[in-house]
Chains A and B, each alone.
Chain A
Amino acid sequence: MSDRLLEVRDLKKHFPVGGSWLGGARGWVKAVDGVSFFINRGETLGVVGESGCGKTTTAKLVLAAEQPTAGTIEFEGRNLTDIRGDALADYRRKVQVVFQDPYSSLSPRMRVGDIIGEPIKAHEQMSRQAVHARVGDLLELVGLRADMGRLFPHEFSGGQRQRLAIARALSTNARLVVLDEPVSALDVSIRAHIISLLEELQARLGVSYLFIAHDLAAVSHLCHQTAVMYLGKIVESAESLELCATPLHPYTKALFAASLPSHPDEPREEIVLTGEVPSALNPPRGCHFHPRCPFAMPRCSDEEPKLAELAPGHRVACHLY
């Protein structure tokens, strides 16, 4: 059996805009436009980018919550677009999600035990006692007490709620957990708790993560591989520490320059980007990044750069290289 858990090839998702439900669309938003990546067993892929770059759409495609326009998603060697029925249910059992905001992702009317037990009941034939015991184990796994299952979500703090969301995601022995900005809404000290918990769970259970974030420091800390997205495309991907040491794409460099210093005298390469992310409805021609790029050349405005492997495992889409 290979190491690859998930392999995504040339994934596209285009949303129609304008027009009516009778007629054709007037335009397309290319939210995800030809993205390829893979995740190995027990490893973490970080996807970084600003709002509107397509990282959440990518996550939804991986979760089978959206149908891709083109491209393939292969999970444990099976193509997701071919599977139906029980196989799809099994896929959903193995691929789970933790959302950003633990206040809106847990139903306030359900007891915590029911929230965590629901996926188990949906996917597995188990007696009530067995489900109950399982929920207790899961609560302990994420660092809570087993008897907390009868409480309601409002009795927990933000960090504890995020632990509940993680317990729910792991309740059906998921192999891949999509983490959509799981620590952005939390306080600094609680963030450290959750990041360490995620690392510990990965070491114990061998689960893989797709970690979506905009905090580069957290990504470099938690992820084995990092992909940087801009307007629906991956502009650079590499092993995380290598990406931190030698970012190549001007956008990646700018992201690093924009991430805040860890102490006041930290030397910083000052790349201040002008302007904002252009609309995905009408992205610039050529390289999508060229209107904001400090190193743009005439070639960048009409020819789109392809992702090329510069060093082993380090891919960049830029005409500079």
Chain B
Amino acid sequence: MPPLLRVSDLKTYYFGFRGSRVVKAVDGVSFSLEAGETFGLVGESGCGKTTTCHSLVRLLSPSARVVGGRIELNGEDLLTKRPAEMTAIRGRRIATILQDPMASLDPLFSIYSQVAEPAYYHRGLRGRALRRKVKELLTAVRIPSPESRMRELPHQMSGGMRQRIVGAIAQAGGPQLIIADEPTTNLDVTIQLQYLNLLKDLQRASGVALIFVTHNLGIVAKMCDRVAVMYAGKIVELQSVRGLFYDPQHPYTRALLDSIPKLGVREPLYIIPGQPPDLSNLPLGCSFHPRCARAMDRCRAEEPPDVQLDGRGTARCWLAVAEGRG
């Protein structure tokens, strides 16, 4: 049986006026996802993680185009689907949760009509059955007194409640995969914990797979089964979450882990020198080499291949080649 989602060698570029500038936002990304799995996509701003997600649901801005690769959902290629077919997939099979709950809820429609919409179109529910479904969904995301709350408007909800309602909307079509793009960035820490626990519970109950896009490695440690670390449009390391935290293979992953302050420890932080590269003008060879503490001559000239680490994952680094791992 094919995996739930398989992305192979995905390339999404942004094109400037008449092709004057090409930004390789996603440049050869491959990963796959099994049903019920939680997959983390980590990286700093501008590394291409959001563009990857937008490519999956084909909601790219007009200046961006998928120029290569395949995206297969249950073995069907999404890139060859017609727009109408994609509309039937979005919400029904792949749902998304975005960062800012206020921007993803329409301020003029009641909570009821917004949660009901996917269930109306994708499940064909009507009348009393639809009402029951909405109530069930709101109860599942722990909205107190859902009967009266669903008549209200988004501005009457707190930030945490709004994000939970977005979670209910994502569940409403009964998807197999939810893409959560930094869903807790705007929430307070205690509310963030509530929300992450809620997502875990929902996942356990419905068996939905999750792609978690974040720059917060703590969220990855808490939520994910497998993680991909992105840098300059490429996945530089893909591993199980334990493997990544205990034995990171790529120098960028190691540097990221060392640059985070830890509770109750006052050691100096590791500082990654320099700035993330300009995606329209990438350095020759490995894109990370100007900032890498262990860069060799080869890194400056040749781009490293994706090295298989004996069944555990992959790393895109000459060191992994040199040390004969894999």
Across the A-B interface, give the 5 residue pairs with the lowest CB-CB distance, nearest first: A260-B218, A244-B264, A192-B259, A221-B261, A50-B188
The answer to whether B242 touches A259, judged by C-beta atoms less than 8 angstroms apart, is: no
The answer to whether B217 touches A255, judged by C-beta atoms less than 8 angstroms apart, is: no
| Stretch in B89-97, B265-273, B294-302, B309-317 touching the partner | B265-273
A190 to B190, CA, bound (A): 25
Taking Cβ atoms with an 8 Å cutoff, the residues of B that contact A are 44-45, 158, 160-161, 188-194, 197, 215-219, 221-222, 241-242, 245-246, 255-256, 259-266, 268-272, 275-276
| Stretch in A18-26, A126-134, A269-277 touching the partner | A269-277
Interchain pairs with CB closer than 8 A, number: 118
Interchain nearest-CB distance for A163 vs B (Å): 12
B-contact 0/1 string along A168-203, CB 8 Å cutoff: 000000000000000000011111110110010000
A241 to B192, CA, bound (A): 24
A: interface residue count bin? 35 or more
In the bound complex, residues from chain B placing their C-beta under 8 Å from that of A266 are 221
Residue of B nearest to A49 (CB): B188
Residue of B nearest to A183 (CB): B261
The answer to whether B259 touches A188, judged by C-beta atoms less than 8 angstroms apart, is: yes
| 17 extra A-B contacts, CB within 8 A, seeds A218-B261, A262-B260, A276-B160 | A50-B189, A50-B191, A157-B275, A187-B215, A187-B276, A189-B44, A189-B256, A191-B260, A192-B260, A192-B270, A193-B271, A195-B261, A195-B269, A216-B189, A220-B261, A220-B265, A264-B242
A157 to B9, CA, bound (A): 30
A283 to B222, CA, bound (A): 33
A190 to B189, CA, bound (A): 21
Among A157, A158, A190, A244, point to the contact of B263 (Cβ < 8 A).
A244
Interchain nearest-CB distance for A159 vs B (Å): 8
Taking Cβ atoms with an 8 Å cutoff, the residues of A that contact B are 50-51, 157-159, 187-193, 195-196, 199, 214-218, 220-222, 241, 244-245, 254-266, 272-274, 276-277
In the bound complex, residues from chain A placing their C-beta under 8 Å from that of B265 are 220-221
Among B160, B221, B242, B266, point to the contact of A262 (Cβ < 8 A).
B221
The answer to whether A258 touches B190, judged by C-beta atoms less than 8 angstroms apart, is: yes
A261 to B218, CA, bound (A): 5
A258 to B226, CA, bound (A): 22
Residue of A nearest to B260 (CB): A188
In the bound complex, residues from chain B placing their C-beta under 8 Å from that of A221 are 261-262, 265-266, 269
Q: What are 27 inter-chain pairs, A to B, with CB distance below 8 A?
A: A50-B188, A157-B275, A159-B275, A187-B44, A188-B44, A188-B217, A189-B271, A189-B272, A190-B44, A192-B259, A192-B261, A192-B272, A196-B271, A214-B189, A221-B261, A221-B266, A241-B266, A255-B189, A255-B190, A257-B193, A260-B221, A261-B221, A262-B217, A263-B245, A272-B194, A273-B194, A276-B191
